[in-house]
Amino acid sequence: MSLAVELSGVAFGYRPGQRVLEDVELELGEGEFVAVAGPNGGGKTTLVRIMLGLVRPGEGTALLFGEPAHRFSGRRSLGYLAQRSEAGGDAPATVREVVSAGRLATGRLVGRLARDDRDLVAEAIGRVGLTHVVDAPLRTLSGGMQQRTFIAKALAAQPSLLVLDEPTTGVDVESQESLAELLADLHGELGVTIVYVSHEFGAVERYVERLVLVRRTIVFDGSPHDLPGMWHDPGHVHAPQ
């Protein structure tokens, strides 16, 4: 199996002597659907940022599709949904305008989108079930619909890797389950590598192939069904001390 992500001996700290991550060994194969879970402050977001080449590890190596992550040449093919506080859910733009930005990110920085690009935008919006609100301002939509819009934006760029950081924050349970089903469908249809990052993984538990549990290092990596029961209650992860 070709690897999408390879972390070896990775350690990182924002201050000397205070490591957020240490001794991280992780390989994610192309086409996998993986949940990265753990307590708040356990290093999940830092791990993802290193994985995507947004932060360089203090020690060790981080490879993205075989290249050093911080110098990855196919960055336009990465779909990254940051935490909702960073995502811009209050923007006045419409669903169509937000998703169109996903095509602009592929290299067309100015001017109108070409017909092929417009078709890809429409296809992405249709895949997430938002055609009926395509011209609605994003800020008028529910949290679940906003998340679907940002997923469509990522899909419009035809990503080889889709990473979602805490995608269910502020979203009701029904929307969480709907989002999980959507991601499972996209994974099955497109074969895109998906990394779902959250302090809770109940919504995607039945869909993901692997659960990676992080508390400064990798404390579990396997099927969610094999996670020891003492660390797993409905929808929440309690990482070992």
Pick 148 or 15 by higher pLDDT. Answer: 148
Percent of the chain with pLDDT over 90: 53
**What pLDDT score was predicted for residue 230?**
41
The answer to whether 159 and 195 have CB atoms below 8 angstroms apart is: no
List C-alpha distances in Å: 35 to 58, 164, 194, 220. 24, 10, 8, 11
Predicted model pTM: 0.86
Sheet of 161-165, strands arranged across: 78-81, 161-165, 193-198, 33-37, 210-215, 217-222
User: What is the Cα–Cα distance from 35 to 197, expressed in whole angstroms?
Assistant: 6
**What confidence score (pLDDT) does residue 61 get?**
97
Beta strands in the chain (DSSP E): 3-15, 18-29, 33-37, 59-64, 67-68, 78-81, 161-165, 193-198, 210-215, 217-222, 232-233, 236-237
Q: What is the pLDDT of residue 26?
A: 97
Pick the CATH number of 3-237 from 3.10.180.10, 3.40.1010.10, 3.50.50.60, 3.40.50.300: 3.40.50.300
Could you read off the pLDDT of 197-223 as tens digits, one per residue?
988 777 888 899 899 999 999 999 999
> What's at 112, amino acid-wise?
R
Distances (CA, A) of 63 to 48, 82, 144, 159, 196: 12, 20, 32, 17, 19
Find all residues with CB under 8 Å of 69, minimum gap 6, and list them.
Answer: 50, 51, 52, 53, 56, 62, 63
Residues 49-86 pLDDT 10s: 999 999 999 999 999 999 999 999 988 889 998 876 44
**CB 215, CB 240: distance < 8 Å:** yes
Flag whether pLDDT at 240 surpasses 70.
no
Point out which residues pair with 129 in neighbouring strands. Answer: none
pLDDT band of 239, cuts 50, 70, 90: very low
pLDDT in tens, 82-102: 876 444 556 688 999 999 988
Could you give the percent of the chain with pLDDT greater than 70?
88
Report pLDDT digits (tens) over 117-130.
Answer: 899 999 999 999 99
In the chain, helix, strand, coil percent, each to 5? 35, 30, 35
Task: Give the pLDDT score at 107.
Answer: 56
Give the model confidence (pLDDT) of 163-189 as tens digits: 999 887 777 788 888 888 999 999 998
The mean pLDDT value for 36-47 works out to: 90
Give the start-to-end residue ranges of the domains of the chain.
Answer: 3-237
